[in-house]
Amino acid sequence: QPQAALPGVTDTEAILEESMSDVQVIRFDKAGRLSQIITMDSWEHYKDQNVTSMTKPALKLHAADGKVSEISADKGEGFQANLKSPLEKLHLIENVVIQQIGLSPNDW
């Protein structure tokens, strides 16, 4: 006998395929120098979707010349063909801040 569907769940609802919380990614360049620190409160990907959702994404870029830039937002969406492919586009949403650390606002 077929099992009854859960109340409120339909076949067309998205299925959470992967999720992470308190994410931190540290990347280094080919010479071994720190190049990026990526953090976010949460990351979610739903099955058969090409969009991932992010909460409080932040990126700190360390340039070879020593300059440091920070980009952050309250929310973000990443677009990629599938989870194994490179990120094609990042859409930042709400309270987006882009700044270069160590410079006065007049030097931006």
User: For residue 22, what are its two tokens?
Assistant: 């308190």
Summarised one tens digit per residue, pLDDT across range 51-102 is 888 999 999 999 888 889 999 999 998 887 766 777 788 889 999 999 888 7
What are the helix and strand counts (H, E) for the chain? Answer: 0, 8
Q: What pLDDT does residue 94 have? A: 94
- Lowest mean pLDDT of 10-19, 24-33, 62-71, name the range: 10-19
pTM of the model: 0.70
